[in-house]
Amino acid sequence: MSTTTLNPELKSQLKDIVGNAFVDDPVQMAAYVCDALGHYEAIASMILKPKNTNEVSKIVRLCSENNISFVPQGGNTGLVAGAIPGPEKAELIISLERMDAIHEIDSINSTMTVDAGCILENIQNSADAIDRLFPLSLAAEGSCQIGGNLATNAGGTAVLKYGNARDLVLGLEVVLPNGEVWDGLRALRKDNAGYDLKQLFLGSEGTLGVITRAVLKLFPKPRSVCTALVAFPDIEATTLLLNLLREKTGDMLNAFEYMDKHCFDLLDEHSDLSNPFSQSFSHYALIELSSSHDSDLNAVLEGVLVEAFDSSIVLDALIGASLTQKQYFWKMRETIPTAYKKLGFGVIFDISVPVSSVPLFIHQANEFMKNNAPTARTLTFGHIGDGNIHYSAMQPKEGDVAAFRSLKKDLTVGINNLAINLNGSFTAEHGVGFAKVDELLRYRSETEVRLMKQIKSTLDPQNICNPGKVVSW
Ligand SMILES: Cc1cc2nc3c(=O)[nH]c(=O)nc-3n(C[C@H](O)[C@H](O)[C@H](O)COP(=O)(O)OP(=O)(O)OC[C@H]3O[C@@H](n4cnc5c(N)ncnc54)[C@H](O)[C@@H]3O)c2cc1C
Q: Which of 150, 82, 156 is nearest to 115 (CA)?
A: 150
**Ligand 1 midpoint to CA 365 (Å):** 26
Q: How many CA atoms lie within 13 A of 245 on its CB side?
A: 29
Kindly give the number of the ligand 1 atom that is closest to the alpha carbon of 78: 29
Encode pLDDT of 407-462 as tens digits.
Answer: 999 999 999 999 999 999 999 999 999 999 999 999 999 999 999 999 999 999 99
Q: How far apart are the first and last CA of the chain?
A: 11
Percent of the chain with pLDDT over 70: 99
Q: Whose CA is nearest to atom 16 of ligand 1?
A: 78
Encode pLDDT of 193-217 as tens digits.
Answer: 999 999 999 999 999 999 999 999 9
**Ligand 1 midpoint to CA 12 (Å):** 30
**418 class by beta-carbon count within 10 Å (0-12 exposed, 13-18 middle, 19+ buried):** buried
Count the residues in the chain: 473
Average pLDDT, the chain: 95
Q: What is the DSSP letter of 205?
A: T
Alpha-carbon torsion 129, 132, 138, 139, what sign? positive
With a cut of 60, say whether residue 1 has pLDDT above it. no
**Ligand 1 midpoint to CA 454 (Å):** 25
Residues with CB under 6 A from ligand 1: 36, 71-79, 82-83, 96, 116, 138-140, 144-145, 147-149, 151-152, 154-156, 205-206, 210-211, 337-338, 429-430, 433, 466, 469
Cα-Cα-Cα-Cα torsion 275, 277, 281, 286, nearest 10 degrees, comes to: -80
With a cut of 90, say whether residue 465 has pLDDT above it. yes
Q: Which of 43, 41, 33, 46 is nearest to 6 (CA)?
A: 46
Q: Tell me what the mean pLDDT of segment 18-26 comes to.
A: 94
**Ligand 1 midpoint to CA 407 (Å):** 27
**Ligand 1 midpoint to CA 207 (Å):** 14
Say which residues have a Cβ less than 8 Å from residue 193's Cβ, sequence separation at least 6.
none
CB atoms closer than 10 angstroms to residue 251 = 11
Domain annotation for the chain: domains and CATH numbers: 8-97 (3.30.43.10), 102-220 (3.30.465.10), 224-340 (3.30.70.2190), 344-430 (3.30.70.2740)
Q: Which of 244, 359, 251 is nearest to 305 (CA)?
A: 244
Nearest 5°: the CA angle 30, 32, 35 is 100
User: Rounded CA gap, 424 and 447, in Å?
Assistant: 18
Q: Tell me what the mean pLDDT of segment 80-91 comes to.
A: 89
Encode pLDDT of 133-174 as tens digits.
Answer: 999 999 999 999 999 999 999 999 999 999 999 999 999 999
**Ligand 1 midpoint to CA 148 (Å):** 5
Encode pLDDT of 398-421 as tens digits.
Answer: 878 899 999 999 999 999 999 999
Q: Whose CA is nearest to atom 44 of ligand 1?
A: 206
With a cut of 90, say whether residue 83 has pLDDT above it. yes
pLDDT at 341: 85
With a cut of 90, say whether residue 88 has pLDDT above it. no
The pTM (predicted TM-score) of the whole model is 0.95
Mutation test residue for ligand 1: of 35, 77, 350, the one with most atoms within 8 Å of CB: 77
